[in-house]
Structure 1
Amino acid sequence: MAELINREGNKVEFKASVPAAEVSRAYQQVWAGLSRDVRVPGFRPGKAPKKVLEQRVGAGYVENEVRDRLLQVHYPQAARELKLSLVDAEIHPETLKDGQAFEFSVKGETYPEVKLGDWKQAQLSAAAPEITEDVLERTLSDLQDRNATFESVERPAEGSDMVMIEEAGEDGGSYPIYLDVAEPHVQAALTGKSKGEEVSITVPAHQHGDHEHPEHTVQVKVLDVRHKQRQELGEEFAKSLNFESMERLRNDLRAELTRRAQQEGEAARREEFIDHLVAGMQTTIPQALLTRRRDAMMEEIQSDLSRQGVKWSEYENFMKEQDKLGEFMADLDKNAESRVRRDLALEQLAEDMKITVSDSEFNQTMQALAQANNLTAQQLRSQLGPEGLNSYYASIVREKALAQALAQLTPKTEAAEQPAQADAAQNQGEQPEAQASSEEAPAESQGSEPEAQAEEAQGEEAQQSE
């Protein structure tokens, strides 16, 4: 049970109480876990007395574990019960004892007041890319290229040949160059060259990642010239990709392209709607909220660098040397503000639509997330902590609100067609009929590795069709 103590502007204070029965249950769970996991010499598993177990794990361990369990569950519940969306909070637990109610108080800051525009009148123009015959043929052509073979030829390199070269120098090595997709300066240098020739390739100045590379020359030797042999489209080609027929290959490709195009359309429609929400939003964002988000993003960046074996101090010094640290920090601030605005808009949308997520919904989502990360639900809760659980709950609410709002909107093209259809029907003395569309379900997959190659090609073609 939660009780609001004080609220002034964005500052809020509340307290919550956990029933004694739940406290006792938490104690039993912690003791059961210790009895199962802690091995004590001279005692069979699960038979060691509590005092002996406590000596093994240290004084206060059980109370800390129980306290954490209770806060992980009841802090987010209390915030939801009081309909508080907290930016930051300080949790002050009181005395904890088995068989007695546990109380804690919270002082925090809520999100600022937000007013949204009339989003229900938004007309979204984003739609799925059209999968035309030309798109399908380009996908098939790409599949032919991906599954082509190369045969050595005794002539100068040309067209779509593959040229095997050996780079001079200690760091050199041999590798293939596919002329039809190579950089223009590489194509120009190698086209017309034959096996055994030595070639100087001038590489223009360019930027790779965070590194500036000046113009330089690479010395290579042509080891071999190989001509691309593409298999003709037909039944044999389809069977080489583990499809029973060319017709089945075409049908499966079209179905997969359509599915991916629909996903792209849905993602584009989602982003268009969020942009519309943010543009029509009125609010004043506290600097503390922006700072909190920027610091969280900085922690993510530093963690990513650490996993790559790079210290933040080294990366920071590199940016200073390149005179790019100021630009980096400005971009970080800009991205932090953009994310905060998006979250505020979606949270207000959820509040306006009275979106809720039940405990059972939340627990099911937590269980699925835990399984996806090879964790138990309790391990995931422990990793997230009370604040993380509260943030995760908020993200689920935002996603639910976004999905329901999008379902209420009519794409711009349909909105423009409906009045015209109504007028035409009225002129004919008929009522306008809803236009139903049926979509063929993707055919059952037949291939394994060859089909994976086909899917890659399909994804590229769907992007090109935008």
Structure 2
Amino acid sequence: MAELVSQNGNKVEFKVTVPAAEVSRAYQQVWTAISRDVRVPGFRPGKAPRSVLAKRVGMGYVDSEVRDRLLEVHYPQAARELKLNLVDASIDPGALKDGQAFDFGVTGETYPQVKLGDWKGVSLSAQAPEITDEVLEQTLTDLRERNATFESVERPIEASDMVTIQELAEGSEEQSGSYPVYLDMAEAHVRDALVGKNKGDEVEITVPAHQHGDHEHPAHTVKVRVEDVKHKQLQALDDEFAKSLNFESLDRLRSDLKTELETRAGREGDTARREEFVTALTEGMEVEIPQALLGNRREAMLEEIQADLSRQGVKWSEYESFMQEQGKLDEFMADLAKNAETRVRRDLALEQLAEDQGLQLTDTQFNAALSALAQSNNMTVQQLRTQLGPNGLNGYYASIVREQALSQAISQLGQPETAEQKDAPAEETETAPTETAE
């Protein structure tokens, strides 16, 4: 049971009481898990008395596990019950004892008031790309290119060849490295230097000055030897080619490929419409965003970046120092702040949209979503709840509602007119229903 203690502006305080029966149930679940996982000499798995298990793990551990379970369930549940969208919160748990009710207090800040514009009047123009015969033929051509074979030839290099070159160390005949170059995808200076040369020729390739990442490379010359020249051989566009791709015929390949292209185009159109709608929604809303909310999002995004760098073996402190030396740290932080504000504005708009539509998830629906997410990550629901924590669970709930609100709003706006409908004369559009009725 949740009770609102006070609310002043976006500052809020509430109290939650968990019934004694639910506290006892949580203790039972924790004891069951401990009995299953903790091995005690002299007892079969699951048969050791609680008094023995308590000495092995400590009652402090048991109470901590129960407290976490109760907070993971009842904190987000209380926030939903009181219809509070919390930016962040501090939880003050009370005393915990098996068989007695458990109280905890929450103080936090709610999201700001948001006023949306007349989103029902938004007209969306984004459409799915049209899959024309030209698009289909180009896709088939790309398939032939990706499945091309190469045969060695004894002739001068042509612009569509694949050439194997051996890099020569500067100032000597010593070989450095060997690698293939596909000339139809190579940069112009490489292609121009090699076309017309023959196998065995030594060639100097002048590489122009260029920027790579944060480093500027001056112009320089690379000396290579042509080791092999291979001609690209495209397969004929026929049934045999289709069969090589596991299709029974060329007609079946064309049909299935067109269906797949239209499916992808439909997804692209849906994504474009969603982004067009969200842009209109955020541009038309009125809101004063607390700096704390922007700061939280900025910190979360920075932590994501730091984690990505860590996975690549790069320390954030080193990367930060490098950007500082390059004079780009201020620009990086400014971009981070701008992106954080964009994301916050988007989330606030969609959450208000959900509220305006009266959208909520039942506990059953939310638990089903958690179960699906846990399964996709090879985790139990309890493991997922523990990993997300109370604030993470609240955030996941909000993300589901935002997506539902967006989908529902888009469906209410209907489909955009096709190019043919837009170009059709007005009198034809008006007379068509009459002709059909007759």
| Normalised TM-score (structure 2) | 0.95
Q: Which moved more, 1:163-172 or 1:310-319?
A: 163-172
What residue identity is the alignment partner of 1:136? L
C-alpha separation in 2, matches of 1:70 and 1:392: 18
CA distance in 2, matches of 1:8, 1:93: 22
Aligned residue for 2:35?
Answer: 35
| Preserved contact between residue 125 and residue 411 of structure 1 (Cα < 8 Å) | no
Indicate the residue corresponding to 2:166 in structure 1.
166
Deviation at 1:55? 1.9
1:123–1:410 Cα contact (<8 Å) kept: no
The one of 370, 374, 378 equivalent to 2:382 is 378
Match of residue 239, structure 1, among 238, 243, 260: 243
Superposed displacement of residue 40, structure 1: 1.0
Structure 1 CA distance for aligned equivalents of residues 412 and 236 of structure 2: 48
The answer on 1:200 being equivalent to 2:166 is no
User: Using a 3 Å threshold, how does the CA distance of structure 1 residues 427 and 161 change in structure 2: closer, same or farther?
Assistant: closer
Deviation at 1:189, TM superposition (A): 1.4
Could you tell me which runs of 5 or more consecutive residues in structure 2 were left unpaired when the two chains were aligned.
Answer: none
Shift of 1:355: 0.5
Structure 1 distance, partners of 2:436, 2:348, is 40
Instruction: State the match for 2:404 in structure 1.
Output: 400
Q: 2: distance between equivalents of 1:354 and 1:332?
A: 33
AA aligned opposite 2:67: R
Q: Does 1:216 align with 2:220?
A: yes
> 8 Å contact 1:422–1:431 — kept in the other structure?
no
Q: Give the deviation of 1:429 after TM superposition.
A: 7.6
Aligned residue pairs, count:
433
Give the alignment of 1:331-350 within 5 angstroms.
331-350=335-354
Match of 1:146 in 2: 146
* Equivalent pair of 1:19/1:102 in contact (CA under 8 Å): yes
For residues 294 and 172 of structure 1, do their structure 2 counterparts lie closer, same or farther at Cα, with a shift above 3 Å needed?
A: farther
Distance (Å, rounded) in 1 between the aligned partners of 2:416 and 2:159: 45
Distance of aligned partners of 1:234 and 1:426 in 2 relative to their CA distance in 1, 3 Å threshold: closer
Q: 2:286 aligns with which of 274, 277, 282?
A: 282
Q: Which residue of 2 aligns with 1:68?
A: 68
Which residue in 2 is equivalent to 1:442?
A: none
Pairs within 5 Å for 1:25-424: 25-169=25-169, 172-413=176-417, 417=421, 424=428
**Aligned partner of 1:81: which letter?**
E
1:299 to partner: Cα distance = 0.6
Rounded to whole Å, the distance in 2 between the matches of 1:171 and 1:411 is 62
The alpha carbon displacement at 1:358 in A equals: 1.1
Q: Which amino acid aligns with 1:339?
A: R
CA drift of 1:172 comes to 4.0
SS in structure 2 at match of 1:347: helix
Matched-pair contact (CA < 8 Å) for 2:127–2:416: no
Contact 2:127 2:273 survives alignment (8 Å): yes
Q: Distance in 2 between matches of 1:334 and 1:129?
A: 31
Question: Would the alpha carbon gap of residues 23 and 285 (structure 1) be closer, same or farther in structure 2, given more than 3 Å must change?
Answer: same
Matching residue of 1:11 = 11
Q: Give the drift of 1:287.
A: 0.7
Take 1:160 and 1:239, find their aligned partners in 2: how far apart are those partners?
A: 26
Distance change (3 Å), C-alpha of 1:104 and 1:171: farther
SS in 1 for 2:417: helix
Tell me: CA distance 1:425–1:214, structure 2 relative to 1, closer, same or farther (3 Å): closer
Match of 1:173, SS?
strand
CA contact (8 A) 2:166 2:175 kept: no
Letter in 2 for 1:301: I
Q: Determine the C-alpha separation between the residues in 2 that align with 1:228 and 1:157.
A: 11
Partner secondary structure for residue 295 of structure 1: helix
Q: Which amino acid in the other structure matches residue 35 of structure 1?
A: S
Residue deviations 1:127-149, cap 9 Å, x none?
11000100111111111111111
CA separation of 1:30/1:228 partners in 2, compared to 1, >3 Å: closer, same or farther? Answer: same
CA–CA distance in structure 2, aligned partners of residues 241 and 34 of structure 1: 54
Q: Structure 1's 421 and 106: CA in aligned 2 closer, same or farther, altered over 3 A? A: farther
Closer, same or farther: CA 418–14 of 1 in aligned 2, 3 Å: farther
Counterpart Cα distance in 2 of 1:314 and 1:288: 28
CA RMSD for the aligned pairs?
A: 2.0
Structure 2 residue identity aligned to 1:88: D
Question: How far does residue 218 in structure 1 lie from its aligned partner after superposition?
Answer: 2.1
What is the rounded CA distance, in whole Å, between the counterparts of 1:356 and 1:127 in structure 2?
Answer: 30
Shift of 1:425: 6.6
Identify the structure with bigger relative contact order (alpha carbons < 8 Å, sequence gap 6+): 1
Shift of 1:56: 1.6
TM-score normalized by the length of structure 1: 0.89
Sequence identity, in percent?
69
Paired AA for residue 199 in structure 2: K
Cα distance in 1 for residues equivalent to 2:34 and 2:435: 71
Structure 1, residues 47-89: CA drift from partner, whole Å, max 9, x if none? 1121221222234000000000011011000000111100010
Query: Which has the higher mean CA deviation after the structures are superposed, 285-294 or 51-60?
Result: 51-60
In structure 2, what residue type is equivalent to 1:384? L
Amino acid at match of 2:105: S
CA pair 81-432 structure 1, distance change in 2 beyond 3 A: farther
Amino acid at match of 1:372: S
SS in 2 for 1:181: coil
Structure 1 residues 68, 165: CA separation in 2 closer, same or farther (over 3 Å shift)?
same
Q: Residue type matched to 2:5 in 1?
A: I
> SS where residue 430 of structure 1 aligns?
helix
- Name the aligned partner's letter for residue 355 of structure 1: L
What amino acid maps onto 1:50 in structure 2? Answer: R
Query: Structure 1 CA distance, aligned partners of 2:87 and 2:435?
Result: 52
Q: State the alpha-carbon separation in 2 of the partners of residues 87 and 304 from structure 1.
A: 25
Higher mean displacement: 255-264 or 414-423? 414-423
